[in-house]
Amino acid sequence: MGIHKIEAWREQEMADNMGVGQAPTIKEVRAKKIDVLNKEGVEILFEYVFEYKVDLKKKNLAAISFEGNVVFLPDKDEEVNNAIETWKKEKKVPVKIFVPVVNNIIRKCVSRAITLADDLNLPTPISFPVVTTESEAESRKVK
Protein backbone atom coordinates (compact mmCIF):
# COMPACT_ATOMS: atom_id res chain seq x y z
CA MET A 1 0.00 0.00 0.00
CA GLY A 2 1.23 3.44 -0.83
CA ILE A 3 0.00 6.91 0.00
CA HIS A 4 1.01 9.51 -2.56
CA LYS A 5 -0.93 12.57 -1.38
CA ILE A 6 -1.77 13.88 2.08
CA GLU A 7 -3.62 17.13 2.80
CA ALA A 8 -4.52 18.48 6.22
CA TRP A 9 -5.91 21.92 7.09
CA ARG A 10 -8.12 23.75 9.57
CA GLU A 11 -9.85 27.10 9.87
CA GLN A 12 -8.67 29.49 12.55
CA GLU A 13 -12.08 29.50 14.25
CA MET A 14 -13.23 26.08 15.38
CA ALA A 15 -16.57 25.01 16.86
CA ASP A 16 -17.00 23.11 20.13
CA ASN A 17 -19.74 20.84 18.78
CA MET A 18 -17.84 19.72 15.68
CA GLY A 19 -18.25 16.18 14.35
CA VAL A 20 -15.95 14.08 12.21
CA GLY A 21 -17.22 12.31 9.12
CA GLN A 22 -14.99 9.85 7.34
CA ALA A 23 -15.25 7.85 4.16
CA PRO A 24 -12.84 5.77 2.13
CA THR A 25 -13.67 5.90 -1.58
CA ILE A 26 -12.45 3.61 -4.35
CA LYS A 27 -11.52 5.80 -7.34
CA GLU A 28 -10.29 3.23 -9.85
CA VAL A 29 -9.57 -0.48 -10.22
CA ARG A 30 -7.09 -1.76 -12.80
CA ALA A 31 -4.70 -4.61 -13.54
CA LYS A 32 -1.14 -4.27 -12.25
CA LYS A 33 1.78 -6.42 -13.38
CA ILE A 34 3.93 -7.61 -10.47
CA ASP A 35 7.23 -8.28 -12.21
CA VAL A 36 9.00 -9.89 -9.24
CA LEU A 37 6.32 -12.58 -8.99
CA ASN A 38 5.59 -12.70 -12.71
CA LYS A 39 1.88 -12.38 -11.87
CA GLU A 40 -0.89 -9.89 -12.35
CA GLY A 41 -2.67 -8.27 -9.44
CA VAL A 42 -5.46 -5.76 -8.90
CA GLU A 43 -4.42 -2.16 -8.25
CA ILE A 44 -7.00 -0.11 -6.38
CA LEU A 45 -6.70 3.69 -6.26
CA PHE A 46 -8.40 5.26 -3.26
CA GLU A 47 -9.17 8.47 -1.43
CA TYR A 48 -9.92 8.68 2.30
CA VAL A 49 -11.34 11.95 3.64
CA PHE A 50 -11.97 13.03 7.23
CA GLU A 51 -14.27 16.07 7.33
CA TYR A 52 -14.70 18.20 10.45
CA LYS A 53 -17.95 20.16 10.48
CA VAL A 54 -20.77 21.25 12.78
CA ASP A 55 -23.57 20.18 10.49
CA LEU A 56 -23.71 18.07 7.33
CA LYS A 57 -24.95 21.02 5.27
CA LYS A 58 -22.27 23.45 6.39
CA LYS A 59 -18.76 23.86 5.03
CA ASN A 60 -15.83 21.99 6.48
CA LEU A 61 -14.00 23.63 9.36
CA ALA A 62 -11.09 21.24 8.83
CA ALA A 63 -10.19 18.23 6.72
CA ILE A 64 -7.58 15.52 6.44
CA SER A 65 -7.35 13.55 3.21
CA PHE A 66 -5.22 10.78 1.74
CA GLU A 67 -4.86 9.45 -1.79
CA GLY A 68 -3.03 6.27 -2.60
CA ASN A 69 -3.08 2.79 -4.03
CA VAL A 70 -3.20 -0.81 -2.88
CA VAL A 71 -2.14 -3.81 -4.94
CA PHE A 72 -4.05 -7.01 -4.19
CA LEU A 73 -2.77 -10.38 -5.39
CA PRO A 74 -5.73 -12.78 -5.70
CA ASP A 75 -5.46 -16.56 -5.29
CA LYS A 76 -6.60 -17.20 -8.86
CA ASP A 77 -5.61 -15.32 -12.03
CA GLU A 78 -9.21 -15.08 -13.26
CA GLU A 79 -10.11 -13.03 -10.17
CA VAL A 80 -8.09 -10.14 -11.64
CA ASN A 81 -10.24 -10.00 -14.78
CA ASN A 82 -13.40 -10.50 -12.71
CA ALA A 83 -12.49 -7.54 -10.49
CA ILE A 84 -11.71 -5.30 -13.48
CA GLU A 85 -14.94 -6.23 -15.28
CA THR A 86 -17.05 -5.78 -12.14
CA TRP A 87 -15.53 -2.33 -11.65
CA LYS A 88 -16.11 -1.31 -15.28
CA LYS A 89 -19.74 -2.47 -15.27
CA GLU A 90 -20.91 -1.68 -11.71
CA LYS A 91 -18.21 0.50 -10.10
CA LYS A 92 -17.96 -2.13 -7.36
CA VAL A 93 -15.14 -4.32 -6.09
CA PRO A 94 -15.80 -8.03 -5.37
CA VAL A 95 -16.22 -8.63 -1.62
CA LYS A 96 -13.28 -11.06 -1.47
CA ILE A 97 -11.00 -8.20 -2.52
CA PHE A 98 -12.92 -5.26 -1.06
CA VAL A 99 -12.90 -6.36 2.59
CA PRO A 100 -9.14 -6.89 3.11
CA VAL A 101 -8.22 -3.91 0.94
CA VAL A 102 -10.53 -1.43 2.69
CA ASN A 103 -9.54 -2.74 6.13
CA ASN A 104 -5.91 -2.10 5.17
CA ILE A 105 -6.76 1.42 3.93
CA ILE A 106 -8.67 2.21 7.13
CA ARG A 107 -5.86 0.97 9.39
CA LYS A 108 -3.19 2.96 7.59
CA CYS A 109 -5.15 6.19 7.10
CA VAL A 110 -6.81 6.36 10.51
CA SER A 111 -3.48 5.88 12.29
CA ARG A 112 -1.93 8.71 10.26
CA ALA A 113 -5.02 10.91 10.65
CA ILE A 114 -4.73 10.64 14.43
CA THR A 115 -1.25 12.18 14.31
CA LEU A 116 -2.27 14.89 11.84
CA ALA A 117 -5.36 15.75 13.90
CA ASP A 118 -3.14 16.11 16.96
CA ASP A 119 -0.72 18.35 15.02
CA LEU A 120 -3.64 20.61 14.01
CA ASN A 121 -5.26 20.54 17.47
CA LEU A 122 -8.33 18.75 16.13
CA PRO A 123 -10.33 16.00 17.81
CA THR A 124 -9.09 12.55 16.86
CA PRO A 125 -11.12 10.88 14.11
CA ILE A 126 -11.87 7.91 16.41
CA SER A 127 -12.71 7.74 20.10
CA PHE A 128 -10.15 6.29 22.45
CA PRO A 129 -11.04 4.28 25.55
CA VAL A 130 -10.86 6.32 28.75
CA VAL A 131 -9.75 4.96 32.10
CA THR A 132 -11.77 6.27 35.07
CA THR A 133 -12.00 5.62 38.78
CA GLU A 134 -15.05 3.90 40.24
CA SER A 135 -16.34 7.19 41.67
CA GLU A 136 -16.09 8.88 38.25
CA ALA A 137 -17.91 5.97 36.63
CA GLU A 138 -20.68 6.13 39.25
CA SER A 139 -21.16 9.88 38.71
CA ARG A 140 -21.62 9.29 34.97
CA LYS A 141 -24.42 6.73 35.38
CA VAL A 142 -27.88 7.92 34.37
CA LYS A 143 -30.14 8.22 37.38
Question: Given strand 19-34, what is the order of strands in its sheet?
Answer: 2-10, 62-72, 39-53, 19-34
DSSP notation for 82-108: HHHHHHHHHS---HHHHHHHHHHHHHH
Question: What is the domain extent for residue 24?
Answer: 2-140
Residue 22 in 3-state DSSP?
Answer: strand
Our count of domains for the chain comes to: 1
Q: Tell me the whole-structure pTM to 2 decimals.
A: 0.82
What pLDDT does 76 receive? Answer: 86
Residue 127 is classified by DSSP as P
What pLDDT does 140 receive? Answer: 64
What pLDDT does 138 receive? Answer: 67
Tallying the residues shown for the chain, one arrives at 143
pLDDT in tens, the chain (143 residues): 899 999 999 887 776 777 888 889 999 999 999 888 888 999 999 999 999 888 766 778 899 999 999 999 988 888 999 999 999 999 999 999 999 999 999 999 999 999 999 999 888 888 778 787 877 666 666 55
